[in-house]
Chains A and B, each alone.
Chain A
Amino acid sequence: MLVLSRRIGESVVIGGGSPEAVTITVLEVRGDVVRIGIDAPRSVAVHRAELLAELADANADAASPPDTAVASLSEALRSRP
């Protein structure tokens, strides 16, 4: 991992020189909270890491239910008023 120190208002550029470059700027530091601005092309998805981890967990929980669970879900939906 590359570790850099930056001051408020300073940036790092990832993929510099290319039109796909991503610029990350430190906007504010208050206690243990750092606000950062991310300037990325639309083709680069930006997500909080914990949301992606939660989604991976949710997908893993949902993946490949046993046939019996699918059958009883189907039955329960059919008999729903």
Chain B
Amino acid sequence: MDLPVIELAHPMPGFPDDARFALVRLDDDGVLHGFRSLDSQDLQFVVVPPAPFYPDYALDLDDETATELGIDESSADEVLVLLVVRAGATLADTTVNLRAPLVVNPVTRRASQVILDDADLPLAAPLVA
């Protein structure tokens, strides 16, 4: 999926000045996506859907985040969860952040990097085991 303009409800920690991003496909399989800042040149995060890598990954979205992103019954099924990838030198060195996924509502085009309460979720888990 490509989305031209996504607005963050809160900046991503470490990047306080970047509020608007675009989601662009980076591969033919539709797995790798770029989450590209529209406010800074050259700032991009590589993101992936959890399903191909962590099929059991699920999150409970708190009400406040749902409200901020305008998630309601009609848009709940369309909400995208994306994991931020840290590309390593090899696939084995490549990690994903399971603790703080990006949650995107494609209907309202609003998104947030949600910090999950579960302290067992690592900030850097192997992308592939």
Contacts and interface: CB of A to CB of B under 8 A. Distances in A.
B60 interface: no
B26 A59 contact: no
Given A42-B64, A73-B94, A59 B115 contact: no
Sort chain A's interface into a size bin.
Answer: 20 to 34
Interface string B9-51: 0101111000000000011010110100000001111100000
B107 interface: no
A63 B40 CA distance: 12
Contact of B46 (A45, A51, A62): A62
A60 interface: yes
A36 interface: no
Contacts, number: 88
Contacts of A45: 10, 64, 115
Interface residues of B, number: 36
A73 B85 contact: yes
Contact of A59 (B12, B62, B88): B12
Contacts of B91: 73, 76-77, 80
A10 B46 CA distance: 46
Most buried by B among A43, A52, A63: A63
Contacts of B110: none
Nearest to B85: A62
Interface in A2-49: 42-43, 45, 47
B94 A63 contact: no
B123 interface: yes
A50 to B, nearest CB: 12
12 contacts: A47-B115, A52-B13, A54-B123, A56-B13, A59-B14, A59-B15, A59-B97, A62-B46, A69-B89, A70-B34, A73-B32, A78-B27
Interface of A: 42-43, 45, 47, 51-65, 69-70, 73-74, 76-78, 80
